[in-house]
């Protein structure tokens, strides 16, 4: 049994497998993340290029302009960070360790993503002096985003727990 385990551990297939999967053309999820990131990036850049003229940025207080620009840049940075995180190989010697590390990174990224979106919504509210209906809509959108991240993390946590506590399949003692 030890010889079999030694042979298994000596084969280095993970680097070639990961290298192939982590290229966008071979990985449908990465393609989708990249497409969403590029669409949002284009939208934010167009908005930032046009907001000053179209929405009378010169007439707004300087702090409103600064908050809006920083908020949009934070969301762009968050999107790029998320894409880079999704593209990275999972570190670790085994699947349990890799899932634990990935889960920790995902929790951190979820906080960053939620805070960036909250900052963006705050920037829009401050810049446009939004009414309570818009604030309520943004609050609902933010709660939906939090719910989505909690669901994703719980799903991965469940898989991680299954690896850490394997199910007893009724083996005879």
What is the tens place of the pLDDT at every residue in 61-87? 999 999 999 999 999 999 899 888 888
Given a cut of 80, whether residue 29 has pLDDT beyond it is: no
The CA-to-CA distance between both ends of the chain, in Å, stands at 20
CA nearest to 149, candidates 101, 97, 82, 90: 82
Given a cut of 80, whether residue 52 has pLDDT beyond it is: yes
CA distances from 155 to 105, 120, 168 (A): 15, 27, 21
User: Tens digit of pLDDT for each residue in 78-119?
Assistant: 989 988 888 887 776 777 788 888 889 999 999 999 999 999
CA nearest to 113, candidates 156, 77, 138: 77
pTM recorded for the entire structure:
0.74
CA nearest to 81, candidates 116, 48, 39, 109: 109
Name which residue leads in pLDDT, 89 or 14.
89
Tokens linked to 52: 């000053």
Given a cut of 70, whether residue 42 has pLDDT beyond it is: yes
For 23, residues 6+ apart whose C-beta sits below 8 A from its C-beta are 30
DSSP 59: G
Neighbour tally for 68: CB within 10 Å: 26
Rg (CA), the chain: 22
Angle at 83 between CA 99 and CA 151, to 5 degrees: 50
């Amino acid at each position: 049994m030890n010889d079999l385990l030694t042979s298994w551990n000596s084969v280095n297939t993970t680097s070639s497998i990961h290298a192939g999967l982590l290229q966008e053309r071979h990985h449908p999820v990465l393609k989708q993340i990249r497409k969403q990131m590029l669409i949002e990036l284009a939208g934010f850049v167009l908005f930032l290029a046009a907001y000053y003229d179209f929405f009378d940025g010169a007439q707004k207080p300087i702090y409103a302009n600064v908050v809006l620009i920083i908020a949009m840049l934070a969301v762009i940075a968050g999107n790029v960070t998320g894409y880079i995180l999704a593209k990275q190989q999972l570190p670790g010697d085994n699947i349990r360790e890799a899932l634990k590390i990935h889960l920790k990174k995902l929790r951190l990224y979820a906080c960053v993503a939620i805070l960036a979106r909250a900052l963006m919504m705050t920037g829009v509210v401050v810049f446009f002096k939004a009414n309570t209906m818009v604030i309520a809509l943004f609050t609902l959108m933010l709660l939906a985003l939090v719910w989505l991240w909690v669901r994703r993390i719980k799903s991965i946590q469940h898989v991680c727990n299954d690896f850490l506590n394997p199910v007893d399949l009724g083996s005879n003692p």
